Amino acid sequence: MTQSTAFHAHRIFDGSTWHDDAALIVADGLVLDIVHARDAPDAERVEGALVPGLVDLQVNGGGGVLFNNDITATGIETICTAHATFGATAVMVTLITDTADNTHAAINAGRDALGASGFLGLHLEGPHLDLARKGTHDLALIRTMDASDLAALTAAASAFDHMICTIAPESVSLDQVMALADAGVTVSLGHTGCDAAMAGEYANAGVSMVTHLFNAMGQLQHRAPNLVGAALDDGRLWAGLIADGFHVSDAAMRIALRGKAGPASVFLVSDAMSTIGTDLTDFTLNGRQIYRADGRLTLADGTLAGADIALIDAVRYVHQSLGLPLEVALNLASLAPAQAMGITDRGHLRPGARADFFNLTSDVTAAGTWIAGQRIGANV
């Protein structure tokens, strides 16, 4: 074992408990313990609080790079670095619906990027979606999953510890879902008009997640609960939520957070695009212009096109605007998404966890980030 390092902070949140005037003890990239500061006299002083690193399961871009436009290992590394500066220490880099060739290229880029700091795995959002619920996805690129698609995805799953595929029942059969789940893919329902009964059938087949709850899906009605109702009522389904004040109303978010049946819960995602960490005012996706203004990203017709937030911004929003306790807001973006992926050593700072953490300021921003105990660089 290498020599341990101690980090002293005014407060440390371990995922369940706040420790005042404490020191986080780290060795070999893992958390050894949290002790009182007096028991770690040589600790490095960190202003503010130390909290578990955020886990973002839906990140399309960052640092000026959109994965669809730079489908390389370098593109993945740039995206992960950009989000690490905002406290996200584990990122599922996401490819939005694209051509079969680009989907294959994304899988290859993901393989090449394995081991890159902050890269958790690959999220393929489409192309096997419902044409009627396309959102910002290119209608011309949405298609039904065929045998070659399924073979490519199941083969790719063996290369990644973590892989998400967002699919719609309109384009993917129950048998195909079972094959994906058996291969280790986390299958998520999204961009679909499926009703609650069909969502239940797909959960029986292995679906365990719902992509960006409320957006691009059937809404909860008193006689037709649809996918929103199924997501909230079915304790097997984890549900991602974009908390930026534009994608979902505050009231709907509060209702979902109060009403979700467990053990699966709601978790926060950023759905971030290339603008994060930059002053970009526009960019392209599948040849279409996306405009950035007033905290929103939209197509020319006003359709929302991803989100202009990092995950820490969602934490701050649910804490300050929805009134959730800070520790609850943090867990929605760290512990809950880690649990959704079956990961037990991230999202908290208890002994044995990966030493992934960041310096949380009183303004609920990130002021320094460590991955496996190593500082990743100065924050913007």
User: Model confidence over 124-135: pLDDT tens digits?
Assistant: 999 999 999 999
Is residue 212 annotated as involved in ligand binding?
Answer: yes
Candidate list 271, 308, 313, 356, residue with the active-site label? 271
Fold of 5-52+348-375: Urease, subunit C; domain 1 (2.30.40)
Is 365 flagged in the annotation as binding? no
Per DSSP bridges, beta strands 296-298 and 288-293 are antiparallel
pLDDT digits (tens, 9 = 90+) for 336-356: 999 999 999 999 999 999 999
**Beta carbons within 8 Å of 115's beta carbon, 6+ residues apart:** none
Supply angle C-alpha 326, 17, 361, rounded to 5: 40
225, 187, 226: which is closest to 207 by C-alpha? 187
Known active-site residue 271: yes
Domain parsing of the chain, residue ranges: 5-52+348-375, 54-340
Task: Give φ, ψ of 328 to 5 degrees.
Answer: -70, -45
> For residue 99, how far is the Cα from the chain centroid?
23
Binding residue per annotation — 125?
yes
223 is annotated as contributing to ligand binding: yes
* Distance, CA of 45 to CA of 139 (rounded, Å): 52
90 among annotated binding-site residues: no
pLDDT beyond 50 at 109: yes
Residue 190 Rama label (left phi>0; alpha psi -120 to 50; beta): beta
Cα 234 to Cα 166, 220, 259, 373, distances in angstroms? 18, 13, 11, 37
Question: For residue 377, what pLDDT band results from cuts at 50, 70 and 90?
Answer: confident
Helix/strand/coil for 320: helix
Rounded-to-integer distance, Cα 165 and Cα 155, Å: 13
pLDDT at residue 226, rounded to an integer? 98
Q: What superfamily does domain 54-340 belong to in CATH?
A: Metal-dependent hydrolases (3.20.20.140)
- Does residue 378 register a pLDDT over 90? no
What single letter denotes the amino acid at residue 215? Answer: N
Residue 340 is assigned to a ligand binding site: no
Q: pLDDT of 263-289, one tens digit each?
A: 999 999 999 999 999 999 999 998 999
Question: What local confidence, expressed as pLDDT, does residue 1 receive?
Answer: 54
Backbone torsions φ then ψ of 130, nearest 5 degrees: -90, 125
Residue-wise pLDDT for 18-37, tens only, equals 999 999 999 999 999 999 99
Q: What is the pLDDT of residue 41?
A: 79
Given this model, what pLDDT does residue 380 score? 40
What average pLDDT does the chain have?
A: 96
pLDDT of residue 321: 97
Beta strand spans in the chain (E): 5-13, 18-27, 30-36, 44-52, 54-59, 61-62, 65-66, 88-96, 119-125, 163-167, 186-189, 209-210, 238-242, 266-269, 282-285, 288-293, 296-298, 357-360, 366-371, 374-375
Q: 379: pLDDT confidence band, cut at 50, 70 and 90? A: very low
pLDDT on residue 336: 98
